[in-house]
Amino acid sequence: MRMTSKVGLIDEEKTVKALEMIDLRLKSEHACQEEDVEEIYRQFRGYWKLMDEFCRRIVERVESDFPEAPAEK
C-alpha cells in the first residue's frame, strides 16, 4: 500500500487509512468474542469508499497508460 502513495494512486492520508484497514483485517482473523467481531465489522463498513476510489484510480491509470487496449466494463 505504501507504493500506491509513491506512484500517485492515493495520497498519504488515504494510504495510512488503507494500512489501518489491513491491520484490522489481520485482527479479524483472531477475533473470538462476538463483541470483538461486531466492532471489527462496524469499522470495516467505513472502508468501502476508500477501496472504491482506489479501484477506480487503478482503472483510470491503466486506461491512460494503455489507451489502445479494449476496455472491459
Segment-wise mean pLDDT, segments of 10 residues, the chain, 73 residues: 71 86 80 77 81 89 83 61
Q: How far apart are CA 47 and CA 40, in angstroms?
A: 11
Q: According to the model, what pLDDT value does residue 69 have?
A: 67
Q: According to the model, what pLDDT value does residue 73 have?
A: 59
Q: According to the model, what pLDDT value does residue 28 have?
A: 75
Dihedral angle of Cα 65, 66, 67, 72, to the nearest 10 degrees: -120
Dihedral angle of Cα 26, 32, 38, 41, to the nearest 10 degrees: 20
Q: Is residue 5 within 8 Å of 57, Cβ to Cβ?
A: no
Please name the residues in contact with 57: beta carbons below 8 A apart, sequence gap of 6 or more: 9, 10
Q: According to the model, what pLDDT value does residue 40 have?
A: 77
Q: According to the model, what pLDDT value does residue 71 have?
A: 62
pTM of the model: 0.61
